[in-house]
């Protein structure tokens, strides 16, 4: 009796295990963001696209092929030529996903690795056709226009293969070594041209400044001549007294030393009352070599005043 009970339990367990295996093989899951295509051994790929969830199939006869329908990125590098025959290296980033309704056709005509087969080929072809219409310089200036045109053409081309392109953008745009060297040489030439233009402008400004200075000197000389012709020796005496007074005042404050070489205009004119080399007491000191010498070194202001006084003396002497 007990033996029969155990045999019944064993048969029931075996039947349950077989039924569980059959049920497990007849069920499959489609995760979120995925779709499934059913391959039937007798009828081929079915046109039905299975949505997300748990579904039944006929074991051994039917097989589910799961496709990821999320938007995925892919970088496609391409080396092509521009309108002016320069090599251009472009990297294109594409966000793509398969059209769910086109999955049976994609699986039948292209296969599960559709992105590896389709995207590189159409991207290379479209990039070459678009870039060939632009010069190398315009590719950088009109980059947005190039990207938009590539995106439109690529979206249209991918749609024929059942792919949806959500975003297309140019992530890298580099040029050949020859073009880079030409650009650097052009920049150096522009810098040299700017430098030459600056030098020319500087020379022109210096020329204008010299002309204005000469005109000023000529006007001053004319005014001085008119003043001398009008006032005579009175103007000379006035300038002499003003210079002598200012220099004597500066000498008395700074204890300035002034040396007059023998034979110079100062040696013949210093004994006069208007000589700026005199001290505040009106006397000159004489060194052993007949030079006039005071106690310290002359300042630039005193030297200028003294030379002005000498010029006035020379003007008076020649008149």
d(CA 123, CA 77): 9
* Of 175, 194, 216, the domain-final residue: 175
Given 68, 97, 127, which residue is the final one in a domain? 68
Q: Which is nearest to 52 in space by CA: 68, 65, 36, 37?
A: 36
| Structural tokens at position 254 | 């700074």
Q: How far apart are CA 278 and CA 249, in angstroms?
A: 10
According to DSSP, the residues that pair with 53 across neighbouring strands are: 30
Cα dihedral 171, 177, 179, 184 sign: positive
Digit-by-digit pLDDT tens for the chain (319 residues) are 667 666 677 666 666 666 666 666 788 899 999 999 999 988 889 998 999 998 888 888 889 999 999 999 999 999 888 888 888 889 999 999 999 999 999 999 998 899 899 999 999 999 999 999 988 888 888 888 999 999 999 999 999 999 999 999 988 888 877 767 766 777 788 888 888 888 888 888 988 888 888 888 888 777 777 776 776 666 667 777 777 878 877 777 765 455 554 444 444 444 444 444 444 444 444 444 434 444 444 555 555 555 555 655 555 554 4
Whether residues 136 and 202 share a domain: the answer is no
Residues 227 and 241 in one domain: no
Per-residue pLDDT at 291: 40
pLDDT at residue 50, rounded to an integer: 92
Is 78 in the same domain as 102? Answer: yes
Assess whether 202 and 189 both reside in one domain. Answer: yes
From the CB of residue 82, how many other CB atoms can be counted at a distance below 10 Å? 20
Q: Does residue 239 sit in the same domain as residue 314?
A: yes
Rg of the chain taking only CA atoms, in angstroms: 52
For residues 179 and 136, is the Cβ–Cβ distance under 8 A? yes
How confident is the model at residue 279, as a pLDDT? 42
Q: Based on the domain organization, do 121 and 48 belong to the same domain?
A: no
Any domain includes 156: yes
We report the CATH number of the domain holding residue 139 as 3.30.479.30
Instruction: Tokens for 280, please give them.
Output: 């505040």
**Residues making up the chain, counted from first to last:** 319
> 60 in a domain, yes or no?
yes
**Domain closes at, from 175, 208, 223:** 175
187: in domain: yes
Q: Are residues 84 and 161 in the same domain?
A: yes
Q: Give domain status of residue 16, yes or no.
A: no
Spatial contact of 59 and 34, defined as CB atoms under 8 Å apart: no
Structural domain contains residue 15: no
Residue 162 covered by a domain: yes
What is the number of H-type helices and E-type strands within the chain?
A: 9, 8
Q: What is the pLDDT of residue 235?
A: 64
Q: Which domain holds residue 250?
A: 232-318
Question: Does 171 share its domain with 78?
Answer: yes
H or E segment and range at residue 153: helix 143-159
Structural domains in the chain (count): 4
Q: Are residues 212 and 306 in the same domain?
A: no
Given a contact cutoff of 8 angstroms between Cβ atoms, the answer to whether 173 and 143 are in contact is yes
Residues 204 and 165 in one domain: no
Is residue 37 one of the residues assigned to a domain? yes
What integer pLDDT is reported at residue 305 of this predicted model? 57
Based on the fold, state whether residues 63 and 31 are members of the same structural domain: yes
Residues 221 and 285 in one domain: no
31, part of any domain: yes
């Amino acid at each position: 009796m007990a033996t029969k009970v155990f045999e019944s339990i064993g048969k029931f367990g075996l039947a349950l295990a077989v039924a569980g295996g059959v049920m497990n093989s007849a069920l499959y899951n489609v995760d979120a963001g995925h779709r499934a295509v059913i391959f039937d051994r007798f009828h081929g790929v079915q046109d039905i696209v299975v949505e997300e969830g748990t579904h039944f199939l006929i074991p051994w006869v039917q097989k589910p092929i799961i496709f990821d329908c999320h938007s995925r990125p892919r970088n496609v590098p391409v080396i092509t030529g521009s309108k002016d025959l320069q090599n251009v290296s472009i990297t294109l980033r594409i966000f793509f996903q398969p059209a769910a309704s086109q999955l049976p056709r994609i699986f039948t005509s292209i296969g599960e690795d559709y992105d590896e087969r389709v995207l590189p080929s159409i991207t290379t072809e479209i990039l070459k056709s678009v870039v060939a219409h632009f010069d190398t310089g315009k590719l950088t200036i009109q980059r947005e226009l190039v990207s938009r045109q590539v995106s439109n053409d690529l979206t249209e081309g991918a749609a024929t293969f059942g792919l949806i392109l959500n975003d297309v953008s140019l992530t890298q745009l580099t040029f050949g070594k020859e073009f880079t060297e030409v650009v650097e040489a052009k920049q150096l030439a522009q810098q040299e041209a700017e430098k030459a233009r600056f030098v020319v402008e500087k020379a022109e400004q210096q020329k204008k400044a010299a002309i204005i200075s000469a005109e000023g000197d000529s006007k001053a000389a004319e005014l001085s001549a008119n003043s001398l012709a009008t006032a005579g020796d009175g103007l000379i005496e006035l300038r002499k007294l003003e210079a002598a007074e200012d220099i004597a005042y500066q000498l008395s404050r700074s204890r300035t030393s002034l040396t007059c070489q023998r034979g110079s205009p100062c040696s013949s004119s210093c004994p006069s009352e208007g000589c700026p080399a005199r001290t505040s007491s009106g006397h000159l000191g004489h060194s052993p070599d007949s030079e006039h010498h005071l106690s310290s070194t002359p300042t630039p202001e005193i030297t200028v005043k003294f030379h002005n006084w000498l010029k006035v003396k020379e003007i008076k002497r020649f008149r």
